[in-house]
Amino acid sequence: MNVELVHIHKSFGVVHANNDISISIKSGVIQGILGENGAGKSTLMKVLSGFIQADSGDILLDGKAVRINTPSDAIRHGIGMLHQDPLDFPPMKIVDNMLIGHDGGLFPNRREVSKSLKELQAQFGFNLDPETYVDSLTVGERQQLEILRLLWLGARVLILDEPTTGISASQKEKLFETLKKLAEQGMVIIFVSHKLEDVEGLCHKIAVFRQGSLVGETAPPYNTDNLVEMMFGKVISLDEKTRLENCEPAMEISNLSIEDNRIQIRNANLTVNCGEVIGLAGMEGSGQRQFLRALAGLMRPVGGDLRLSGKRLTGKPYHSFQDAGISYVPASRMEEGLIPGLSITEHFILSEDQSGFFIDREKAVTISRERINTFNIKGEPVTRVEALSGGNQQRALLAMLRTPLRLLLLEHPTRGLDIESSIWIWSQLKDRCKQKTCIVFISADLEEVLHYSDRILVFYNGKVSQPLDAAATTVDQLGQLIGGKGFQC
């Protein structure tokens, strides 16, 4: 199936999200859609997949104009979209999730569905048990389920929005292998991303978006500097790593043991110096998240000792950790970090220590404007946080942090962000380090872990490695350790 989008316009208020976009994709092509956060990529894909309607313009499939007003319309025309957060139902089994969107009457034949699932996944080497509950799957397995569901529903055009966010290197390799097979079968694959290495390594051609417009298209061999300049209108480079010398220990972790219903960590030891950055690497579910939450006071250890600047925090409540100068920034911005329905200003009010019963609204708006300017948040004081892009939500979270801090804990601080936003986030974090804040962060991006960390802890099935010197470690070495090869506690 050949796909054409012709003169697509879409506005949200005064924001022109798609400004006269025209693009043509032939059958069997993996089309990359590249651009920074807020460039208009996802908006265009939601128009094609029926989640929103364009203000004007046409969609042509094999040269014929079609009307797509809903996701059901899109599926009927053979178009399916895999969102950054898969649209599944975690409390239900895989086989029941397969039936979402299926016109099979009130009593579908679950046995036939299970059989179809097994036959379909055999083509790609997937191994999903139809009777497994979705909430036990990894992000990569949930993606596999969604791909199988869309194929089973008859999709011939597959749209993937930031599909490598939150999955491991091996899961990404499996995903790319699957997409190449689908393209060989004549499907159109539309791969939306802000990650240069992903689109360069996978796509037959790349369309670059900036500020709602299609800047241009390019084909292999790709020039990375040229793509970056097309995305941002300028060349962007990483800052050099800086490290404070002769700093005293800030946090001391002795024989820390943590357990929940999925993982056990035994006798972890670490001393973190002020101004130091510690990266936590490992396959999803290896224990690094539980470790970080224990350092934040959100999970109580079953043994060991945790001290900050000599003060014992083991067993104390979360607020004691906050009072000691520890802040935690979660990966799920809208589930744990921010409150949907509240404005930027209201979030800043909540993050301040309040004196008295009444809020000075005028002062709050003034503070909000100052922080919006300082942190370059694209929004107004009255803007609700759910209306912000992922990068601007992360900036808002950083703007809410107290000063000074002794320890800053972050889960995937740049997940889903474009290069420019990621570099800006880390520039702010490094400024914190210069103020002697120590940082411990989790990332699935090995390049990020190596570039920004002073030392690295690798997690493997609940085991914690000795600290590694990031400067003396390569991506290949780190990848092998994460997979358990040569792993030593």
User: What DSSP line would sit under 94-163, residue for residue?
Assistant: HHHHHTTT----SS--HHHHHHHHHHHHHTTT----TTSBGGGS-HHHHHHHHHHHHHHTT-SEEEEEST
Q: What does the block give as tokens for 129? A: 């048990």
- For the chain, what is the mean pLDDT? 88
Q: CB–CB of 443/281 below 8 Å?
A: yes
Q: What is the pLDDT of residue 235?
A: 58
Phi–psi pair at 289, nearest 5 degrees:
-70, -45
Q: What is the pLDDT of residue 105?
A: 56
Neighbours of 181 (CB within 10 A): 13
Q: What is the pLDDT of residue 248?
A: 79
Nearest CA to 145 out of 114, 112, 188, 191 is that of 114
CATH topology of domain 237-325+402-489: Rossmann fold (3.40.50)
pLDDT tens readout for residues 411-449:
999 887 777 788 888 989 999 999 999 999 999 888 899
Q: How many helices (H) and strands (E) does the chain have?
A: 16, 21
CA angle in degrees (0–180, nearest 5) for 432-437-438:
115
- Half-sphere exposure of residue 198, counting CA atoms within 13 Å on the CB side? 28
CA angle in degrees (0–180, nearest 5) for 165-399-374:
110
Q: CB–CB of 474/297 below 8 Å?
A: no
Q: What is the pLDDT of residue 288?
A: 93
Q: What is the pLDDT of residue 249?
A: 87
**Residues in contact with 109: Cβ distance below 8 Å, sequence separation at least 6, in sequence order:** none
Q: What is the pLDDT of residue 76?
A: 94
Confidence (pTM): 0.66
Output the furthest CA–CA distance in the chain (Å, rounded).
71
Q: What is the pLDDT of residue 363?
A: 83
Tell me: cis bond preceding 404? Omega within 30 of 0 counts. yes
Tell me: cis bond preceding 221? Omega within 30 of 0 counts. yes
Q: How far is CA 120 from CA 111, 126, 130, in A?
A: 14, 9, 12
Measure the CA–CA gap between 321 and 403, rounded to whole angstroms.
Answer: 15
Q: What is the pLDDT of residue 465?
A: 93
Nearest CA to 300 out of 319, 324, 317, 322 is that of 317
Phi–psi pair at 313, nearest 5 degrees:
-115, -10
Q: CB–CB of 218/209 below 8 Å?
A: no
Measure the CA–CA gap between 121 and 147, rounded to whole angstroms.
Answer: 10
Measure the CA–CA gap between 227 and 416, rounded to whole angstroms.
Answer: 18
Low-confidence stretches of the chain (pLDDT < 50) are: none
Dihedral angle at the C-alpha atoms of 87, 93, 95, 99, nearest 10 degrees? -40
Single-letter code of the amino acid located at 175: L
Nearest CA to 194 out of 419, 449, 18 is that of 419
**3-232 and 237-325+402-489 in the same fold:** yes
Paired with 64 in beta bridges are 61
Q: What does the block give as tokens for 430? A: 């490094």
CA 464 to chain centroid, in Å, comes to 24
Nearest CA to 180 out of 29, 3, 23 is that of 29
CATH code reported for the domain at 3-232: 3.40.50.300
CA 232 to chain centroid, in Å, comes to 20
Q: CB–CB of 295/468 below 8 Å?
A: no
| Per-domain residue ranges of the chain | 3-232, 237-325+402-489, 339-401
Paired with 207 in beta bridges are 33, 217
